[in-house]
A and B are shown apart, each in its own frame.
Chain A
């Protein structure tokens, strides 16, 4: 069974840092590209960041570019998001999601499994 379990959320003050993690199990983690998606209170989902299987290709939403760093440790089946210079507007539940992408007779691309999320609250 595919499982993604986020951890590391908590309450921090504006300007501080926090690192959240996502532990993967039930599939070959090193073979899948991964994403972080967040949901602010009462709001919709917002894509945050992407990392390819080897960690060599990375992308960020403009709202977090230069402040957040995505990384992965395939030996530990884990995905990370280092968040620096946190702002009140970064308050959200942070989800990790697996990207299923392949081409057979046609190409497919979907965020097929998600974790339950970890809450990050930025407040003074």
Chain B
């Protein structure tokens, strides 16, 4: 069982928006601003999409946005495109030097 709870799957049609939730505790998501989201195509390196809850690295489309309320963080992808189909993982700093991750959410673009 993963430390952070994500839905196993979400889906949407091209052009629609989807939101993926990530629930932790006050010791991780709720206690730090260091919440990140990764896009992962199997067999490839995970790609950073969001860091510090809502910041986008250079090159990540502004269709990707992040937010947090209490112990739950969220990733919203608007204007879905077929290339967005992938697994998405949330991550949070958990104190000392450790990080915790979610179980992953499979996004299907119908």
Contact = CB atoms under 8 A, between A and B. Distances in A.
A43 B34 contact: no
Contact of A61 (B4, B34, B98): B98
Interface in A35-91: 35, 37, 43-47, 50, 57, 59, 61
A112 B52 CA distance: 11
Contacts of B97: 50, 57, 59
Contacts of B98: 47, 50, 59, 61
Interface in A67-124: 95, 108-117
Interface residues of B, number: 28
B89 A109 contact: no
Nearest to B101: A45
A111 B48 contact: yes
Interface of A: 4, 35, 37, 43-47, 50, 57, 59, 61, 95, 108-117
Given A108-B52, A110-B52, A44 B46 contact: no
